[in-house]
Amino acid sequence: MKILFVVSEVAPYVKTGGLGEVMNALPKEIHRLGHEIAIFTPLHGKIDRQRHPLLSISRSKILRIGRRKIAHRFFASLISQEVPIYFFDQPELFGARDQVYGGEDGNYRYLVFNKAVFSLLETLNWTPDIIHCHDWPAGLIPNYLAQMNRKSSWKKIKTVFTIHNPAFTGTANAWQIAPELKDDVESPIPVDPKKLSYLNFLERGIRFADVVTTVSELHAKELLAPETDHGLRELLATKKRHFYGIRNGIDYNLFNPRVDPNLPVNYDVGLLHRKNDNKRALQHRLGLKIDDKIPLLGMNTRISEQKGFDLIFEVLPKALELGAQFVVVGTGHGAYIETLNAYAKKYPNQVAYRPYSEELGSLVYAGVDLFLMPSRYEPSGLGQMVSLRYGSIPLVRRTGGLANTITDYNSKTDTGNGFVFDSYTGDELLTTIKRALKVFRSKKRWWELMRRAMDTSYSWELPAKRYLRIYQLATR
Ligand code: GLC
């Protein structure tokens, strides 16, 4: 099978969240299963060209949008020697911008990128069986294909659209747009900049794709249920037997405490006593009190409302009273970061915040005792799977992919690989933190829990095979 992934971010080139991380792993696994796969993504200004040398593969070409002519080129590189990655080079829209998303013309940027897919296929003289579109920034491709003349050789390409985050529908999110201005998801794709700014890329992707997926089994159910559907229930119901949930995995070579170069001390399940050296290193690095016995709670996350910061701030003073420490590494929403900094200032021995870096991210995975993900919603979540791998115990809310991967600790049967709470309230979060701290104080139980966590495996093999079945379904 020949598959092209279209996506706005690919780690290690550019990553703002889990989406980029998935792109660095799933394609390799699909390739390993014997299929031809390539990735198409914008050449963002943020990409470090020293670190990632790219090869020009085309002369300058022209793309037409309405009356506008857009000059562009393509570059190429390899992810892990096997999966080619093609970059859309358009300096004005991408290369000269700092932001991966956003800008006044945010939708226009990605509309042009979506159209450029066909220019790329022409350049490569290649026709994939499947174009797999990820999230809203690739949402117009199924729509373009549907509009295409029957005689076009691309008409036989099938599309799969994956929802990684249902809240993002375009540069302006659906809930920010007045009802009378909302996109009807049916009319021809506009070129007029004003109309374009209301275009709902996500819904168009769903509407016109041959098969739609999201990133966990439970989230697929949530998207079909009132309250948790992000307004997509009716549209998704029209897909009937063409909407599936496939959980994400993590790359066990990339996330491996035994070889992770970012850790001061490497360890694995057989050398678990070394994990504490990383805890001390993290405490030291962030200026917290250095002490093995203090429970260290932490997050490594995109900082946004979705991730449960409102709940965290509601219970933090009480958790600190219990003697816990709390660290956050991540980048995102300014107001939350200000609050984190204010807490860090008030409790310098107990609270610390640092912007995201790969190194600090790893140190959090290895150094904390409890890894918090009290998300309001979570299509998949990767952090909980990585923290399991590092023996840091996830404490999560029972939603989406978190519920699919973490089972609650049961002291009677001594089962479970984390701590899980149900309703999105501060009370439940605090009760669950208290419950976890009680187990933490019993060294033996905690060690068993850590071992069990490290034994859980969420590799990409199974999900990759499921995607292949989806591709077969789409081409049937
Ligand atoms: C989005 C979702 C997250 C998921 C990631 C990759 O960031 O919020 O839950 O893990 O996409 O699919």
Residues touching ligand 1 (Cβ under 6 Å) are 17-19, 22, 164-165, 215, 248, 378-382, 401
> Residue 262 domain-assigned?
no
Q: How many residues does the chain have?
A: 476
Indicate which atom in ligand 1 lies nearest the CA of residue 164.
11
**Are 238 and 275 contained in the same domain?**
no
Ligand 1 mutation target, pool 16, 248, 375, 399, most atoms within 8 A of CB: 248
Range 328-344 burial, b when 16+ CB lie within 10 A, else e: bbbebbeebbebbeebb
Rounded Cα–Cα distance for residues 129 and 442 (Å): 55
Ligand 1 mutation target, pool 7, 306, 380, 384, most atoms within 8 A of CB: 380
Contact assessment for residue 47 and residue 93, using Cβ atoms and an 8 Å cutoff: no
Q: What is the distance in A from the centroid of ligand 1 to the CA of 383?
A: 10
Residue bearing the CA closest to ligand 1, atom 7? 18
Q: What is the distance in A from the centroid of ligand 1 to the CA of 371?
A: 17
- The number of distinct structural domains making up the chain is 2
Q: What is the distance in A from the centroid of ligand 1 to the CA of 22?
A: 9
Ligand 1 mutation target, pool 133, 134, 215, 246, most atoms within 8 A of CB: 215
> Residue 172 domain-assigned?
yes
Ligand 1 mutation target, pool 165, 302, 306, most atoms within 8 A of CB: 165
**Are 288 and 341 contained in the same domain?**
yes
> Residue 236 domain-assigned?
yes
Distance of CA 70 to the CA centre of its chain: 30
Amino acid at 468: L
Q: What is the pTM of this model?
A: 0.96
**Are 278 and 162 contained in the same domain?**
no
**Are 275 and 235 contained in the same domain?**
no
Q: What is the distance in A from the centroid of ligand 1 to the CA of 154?
A: 30
Ligand 1 mutation target, pool 8, 24, 164, 378, most atoms within 8 A of CB: 164
Rounded Cα–Cα distance for residues 12 and 20 (Å): 8
> Residue 263 domain-assigned?
no
Q: What is the distance in A from the centroid of ligand 1 to the CA of 125?
A: 33
**pLDDT of the residue at 80:** 65
State the 10-residue block means of pLDDT for the chain, 476 residues long: 98 95 96 97 96 94 94 89 93 97 93 98 98 98 96 96 97 84 92 86 98 98 97 95 97 96 97 96 98 98 97 98 98 96 98 97 98 98 98 98 98 94 98 98 96 95 98 95
Nearest to 375 by CA among 312, 461, 322, 437: 312
Helix (H, G, I), strand (E, B) or coil at 420: strand
CATH of the domain at 340: 3.40.50.2000
> Residue 224 domain-assigned?
yes
**Are 239 and 281 contained in the same domain?**
no
Indicate which atom in ligand 1 lies nearest the CA of residue 17.
7
> Residue 256 domain-assigned?
no
Amino acid at 182: K
**pLDDT of the residue at 15:** 94
Rounded Cα–Cα distance for residues 387 and 381 (Å): 11
Residue bearing the CA closest to ligand 1, atom 5? 18
> Residue 314 domain-assigned?
yes
**Are 435 and 469 contained in the same domain?**
no
**Are 244 and 277 contained in the same domain?**
no
Contact assessment for residue 352 and residue 269, using Cβ atoms and an 8 Å cutoff: no
Residue bearing the CA closest to ligand 1, atom 10? 381
**Are 175 and 34 contained in the same domain?**
yes
**pLDDT of the residue at 240:** 84
Helix (H, G, I), strand (E, B) or coil at 455: helix
Residue bearing the CA closest to ligand 1, atom 8? 165
Measure the CA angle with vertex 410, ends 409 and 413; round to 5°: 130
Whether the bond between 12 and the residue before it is cis, its omega within 30 degrees of 0, is yes
Pair of tokens at residue 443: 């060294």
Residue 77 carries which DSSP code? E
**pLDDT of the residue at 309:** 98
Amino acid at 49: R
**Are 469 and 443 contained in the same domain?**
no
Rounded Cα–Cα distance for residues 44 and 21 (Å): 16
> Residue 292 domain-assigned?
yes
**Are 95 and 179 contained in the same domain?**
yes
**Are 244 and 302 contained in the same domain?**
no
Instruction: Identify the domain containing residue 362 by its residue range.
Output: 269-455
Nearest to 114 by CA among 42, 61, 15: 42
Residue 54 CB partners (closer than 8 Å, separation 6+): 43, 75, 76, 77, 87
**Are 240 and 368 contained in the same domain?**
no
Q: What is the distance in A from the centroid of ligand 1 to the CA of 25?
A: 14
Helix (H, G, I), strand (E, B) or coil at 211: strand
